[in-house]
A and B are shown apart, each in its own frame.
Chain A
Amino acid sequence: MQIDHATVRHIARLARLAIDDAAAPALAEELARVLELADHLAGVELAGIEPMAHPHAQTLAWRADQVSEADRADAFLALAPEARGGLYLVPKVIE
């Protein structure tokens, strides 16, 4: 399994992680090794086997469309690195 540096950078971009150029070759090698593990799955006979997403063939529970919790916006906003006037603040997106 080979993963080139461009692929590592592309995956890192999708994951919003910064990759140091100097570290990219080692990381590519490491990822390739981990993904080689997954290559053990390639030859397995899977005809008629459905994917399994949940251990108990159980569907997610539904609940009534009703307010179940009190408004605690202030408590949650207090956790934000930057918030003002009931809003989360981020760097300007549109100039």
Chain B
Amino acid sequence: MTPGIAQLAQTLRARDTTAVELTERALAAAQARVGLNAFITLCAEPALAAARDADAALATASASVLAGIPFVHKDIFCTNGVRTTCASRMLENFVPPYDAAVVEKLAAANAVSIGKTNMDEFAMGSSNENSCFGPVRNPWDTTRVPGGSSGGSAAAVAAGIVPFATGTDTGGSIRQPAAFCGITGIKPTYGRVSRWGMIAFASSLDCAGVLARSAADCAQVLAAIAGHDARDVTSAARPREDYNAALSTSLKGIRIGVAREYFGAGVEDGVAGANHAALRELEKLGAILVDISLPNSALAIPAYYVIAPAEASSNLARYDGVRYGHRCAEPKSLEDLYTRSRSEGFGAEVQRRILVGTYALSAGYYDAYYLRAQRVRRLIANDFAAAFASVDLIAGPTAPTVAFKLGEKSADPLAMYAADVNTVAVNLAGLPAISLPCGFAGQGRPSAAGAGCAGAASHGLPVGLQLIAPAFGEARLLNAGHQLQQHTDWHMREPAP
């Protein structure tokens, strides 16, 4: 079993290893698994320099628990002096002159970034096939997608290259790849983690978060990156809770609403079964399962696929070939410069969403599409508010299926969008949610507990359980996840190397 953060931190403090050694090992593992295509940029030299600094910090008493722990950043976070592409030809050679807030905070904790991970272009996608650097492969079955858009981050953690990764989640981009890759992923409340220096997709939905093996590891990292940042005007001006202290709280009496709609049509039997099994485990720990309804769930995908493209079309208007990013060769006019630079720089899905968003915001359609979607957004948020009047958490499958085959859905945008059916509502309402490994489905039967980890062929593919909390309820989510993981071992299963 690949060690987690607490174990690595302990080993570092016992002088059984060094940050430099861990970093060299992580870099070697990344090289060995180059076929996964999880990385866009590996940063060996800066990583080793940071590791030496971490070793120096570890010699003092005040070192952070993350000091010397190797990890990876999704290539959507600006990194000073290290190219940041967003997996787009538009930013293929973009080297930011500053660090994102999340990057600053993890660097200040002396965590060691070994590179930037592959993703769907501008975070638009659910399979990591929309990358100008090619698709990422799922470590459980390399003919399958890792999910998206934080697919490289999820694959790097699942393959044991690093114990944690940063990611972003606009409609499920942390939770769905975490589910597909058999790891834990938390999307915090909107505004809990600063978006400063995080390349924008849909600004009223975008959240930075964490992918790791366990809820306890997510707690350590979230504690380091959460908090108010005056540079992000949507950052929440409230202190963060003590996520680590909350982990050990008993689940006795906690009320978990099982959302009927999340087990609806399109949810594979194996996925539903694994979720019910995990919910029974939570019940054994004292949780009370309550049947609930979120009646407007079916409207989440339509509302999301108006609002997110609308915001994207506005955000991506900044890529004009003038100040940074791709510029076409020999522009004949300013108009030609804009149009050709954008058409050459953006991939097909990004262009499709810009066009849909432009349409939804254009004169004559704004009320019928954008304004209407924003009103439906409130209906969806109201559903959650009503449910949380009687339950503490809401549960359901993170994704309706296990990881699908590369190419299986890439020709049909609507089939791809349906992969987000249980995740987008959470972003629309701005709530926190976590995806926890909860078993295996498809391609054979789940293995008996502890019966080895031979991989997808005999054990099926990972399934995720999503738990949703009221705004700023991250501590409760991490607590429930940790308690489940103290009593089950789904999160400890690893794909064959």
Binding site for B on A (CB under 8 A): 7-8, 11-12, 14-18, 27, 30-31, 33-35, 37-42, 44, 46, 49-56, 58, 60-61, 63, 72, 75-76, 78-82, 88, 90-91, 93
Binding site for A on B (CB under 8 A): 94-95, 97, 190-191, 204, 230, 233-237, 298-299, 301-303, 305-306, 313, 317, 320-327, 331-340, 342-343, 346, 351-352, 354-356, 358-360, 362, 368-369, 371-379, 381, 413-414, 417, 428-431, 471
* Chain A CB within 10 Å, residue with most, of B355, B377, B471: B355
Which chain B residue shows the least CB distance to A62?
B233
Alpha-carbon gap, A46 to B374, bound state (A): 11
A-B contact pairs, 7 of them (CB 8 A): A30-B413, A35-B359, A38-B373, A51-B378, A55-B430, A76-B97, A81-B324
Alpha-carbon gap, A72 to B96, bound state (A): 12
Partner of A15, one of B237, B298, B333, B358: B358
What's the A-B contact tally at a CB cutoff of 8 Å? 162
Please state if A17 and B342 are interface contacts (CB–CB under 8 Å): yes
Which chain B residue shows the least CB distance to A60?
B233
Given A49-B375, A63-B230, A88-B323: A17 touches B413 (CB 8 Å cut-off): no
Which chain B residue shows the least CB distance to A16?
B338
Alpha-carbon gap, A90 to B358, bound state (A): 25
The 3 A-B residue pairs with the shortest CB-CB distance in the complex, in nearest-first order: A55-B430, A51-B374, A81-B327
Please state if B306 and A41 are interface contacts (CB–CB under 8 Å): yes
Please state if B340 and A18 are interface contacts (CB–CB under 8 Å): yes
Please state if B343 and A17 are interface contacts (CB–CB under 8 Å): yes
Please state if A38 and B236 are interface contacts (CB–CB under 8 Å): no
Return chain A residues, CB-CB under 8 Å to B360.
Answer: 35, 38
Please state if A79 and B95 are interface contacts (CB–CB under 8 Å): yes
Alpha-carbon gap, A79 to B381, bound state (A): 41
Please state if A38 and B369 are interface contacts (CB–CB under 8 Å): yes
Shortest CB distance A11–B (Å):
5
Partner of A37, one of B301, B324, B372: B301
Given A63-B230, A80-B323: A75 touches B97 (CB 8 Å cut-off): yes
Shortest CB distance A75–B (Å):
4
Shortest CB distance A55–B (Å):
2
